[in-house]
Amino acid sequence: MDKLAIIGGRALYGAIPISGAKNSALKVMAASLLTDEPLTLTNAPRLADVDMLLRLLARHGADAAFDDATLRLHARDIASTEAPYDLVRKMRASFNVLGPLLAREGRAKVSLPGGCAIGARPVDLHLKALTAMGAAIELDEGYVVASAPRGLHGAHIAFPFVSVGATEHAMLAATLARGGTVLENAAREPEIADLADCLNAMGARIAGAGGATIEIEGVERLHGATHRVLPDRIETGAYAMAVGAAGGELTLSGTDARLLGAALPVLEEAGLEIELLDDGLRVKKSPGPCRALDIVTQPFPGFPTDLQAQFMAMMATAEGVSKIKETIFENRFMHAPELARMGAKISVDGQTATVRGVPRLKGAPVMATDLRASMSLVIAGLAAEGQTMINRVYHLDRGFERLEEKLTRCGALIERIKE
């Protein structure tokens, strides 16, 4: 398994191009199953998770061609409506093929994704939404077996709490349903509006995406389209936080600061100077430690759970005490003991972590536990004195495109050790 060696203590200077958003790309890729015409995605990130979903889509009959950042998908015929355990287990977003397969073919058998390191992550809301649209759903030996022989119909679905995946899943399925669907208490993450834009370009009739109520008027068929994947707000925020921890000045291009929601004022309050540019933002850290701040993770536009780990790494050397409350996932502090190995002073009590800033972190061997936790270790490694060796970097490859290359160009000493 590959490792990453980082020699820390060097400020970052330069420009980083931000890739297309993983969490948008995975959903618009699933949308390709809704039409027999080609769907072309530009600004598509080349990531392990994207490759994993391509393998699954190929099984369902989609041809794929990746050329630079352009991904062309064509599911002329659906070859199989079954998504096996092996491919869904490794990546939860694979579960989102269920709705499109059901909407197009009237049936699908998709493995339940199971839990994962950051929490149990059930899919009950996904299944309730599809049931409300007329699907008959049975669970059989770890598989969801769904059928709607006469097609799905529109429904009024009020989510009891906000779920990104269930909102997207319901939206995907409702595009080809008979009649209108209303989603209430829908997730408002920018990736939802991006998926709606892609589906509308394919001929869907979706209004209100990005707000709490989404209305979808079903259509007979969808057609091919070209869609540009929106920039990755988590990658944007993570590199901004790397500047907060290691110092320096970075221009983050091909992105939009407004995608950061509540994380933007938090970065500024912590002591980063942020200048909004037409094509991104410039982030600068004046000498001296960051200010400690309290945050609570919330659905968008609140502080994103996917930046919580990186924020903790930045707070590890801040001046003062920071309280970080995680409200989305029940087990998302696995980076805390790893950061502690580097000298961070963190105590975790239930869903709240208290970080007492120390003047400096020290490099150490650490273990990446999930995608965003891994990035928090990279940020800590960039700021720390001496060498940090990060084990299990495959987690990083799932969601951060060309990480070493992007950081090396900005002066970081970071090297992949192949094993």
Q: What residue ranges bind ligand EPZ (CB under 6 A)? A: 23, 26, 92-93, 119, 121-126, 163-166, 187, 305-306, 328-329, 371-372, 399
Residue closer to ligand EPZ by CB (options 49, 249) is: 49
Helices H, strands E: what count in the chain?
Answer: 14, 24
Residue with smaller CB distance to ligand EPZ, 114 or 151: 114
Place of tokens 């309050």: 269
257 vs 281: CA distance, rounded Å: 6
Rounded to a whole number of angstroms, the minimum distance from the CB of residue 118 to ligand EPZ is 6
Q: Which is nearer to ligand EPZ, 249 or 306 (CB)?
A: 306
DSSP 3-state of 60: helix
CA-to-CA distance for 276 and 253, rounded, in angstroms?
10
- Smallest distance from ligand EPZ to CB 122, Å: 4
CB of 129 to ligand EPZ, least distance (A): 9
CA proximity to 77, closest of 92, 67, 63, 66 = 63
Give the residues across from 109 on adjacent strands. Answer: 82, 145
Residue placing its CB nearer to ligand EPZ in the complex, 329 or 333: 329
- In angstroms, rounded to a whole number, what is the distance separating the alpha carbons of residues 118 and 262? 22
Alpha-carbon gap, residue 189 to 15, rounded angstroms = 26
CA-closest candidate to residue 365, choices 118, 10, 3: 3
Q: Which is nearer to ligand EPZ, 318 or 371 (CB)?
A: 371
Tokens 């339940």 found at? 112
Shortest Cβ 9–ligand EPZ spacing (Å): 28
What is the smallest separation between the CB atom of 320 and ligand EPZ, expressed in angstroms? 27
What amino acid occupies position 190? Answer: P
H-helix or E-strand containing 99?
helix 98-105
From the list 185, 229, 223, 199, the residue with the least C-alpha distance to 99 is 199
**Shortest-Cβ-distance residue relative to ligand EPZ:** 165
User: Which strand (E) or helix (H) includes residue 239?
Assistant: helix 233-246
Strand order in the sheet with 352-356: 295-296, 321-325, 352-356, 345-349
The CA distance from 54 to 128, in Å, is: 27
Least distance (Å) between residue 229 CB and ligand EPZ: 13
Q: How far apart are CA 126 and CA 172, in angstroms?
A: 11
- The answer to whether 274 touches 250, Cβ cutoff 8 Å, is no
Q: Which is nearer to ligand EPZ, 117 or 413 (CB)?
A: 117
Comparison of 259 and 292: residue with beta carbon closer to ligand EPZ: 259
116 has catalytic annotation: yes
The distance of closest approach from Cβ of residue 208 to ligand EPZ in the complex, given in angstroms and rounded to an integer, is 18
Contact 399, 309 (CB under 8 A): no
Residues involved in catalysis: 116
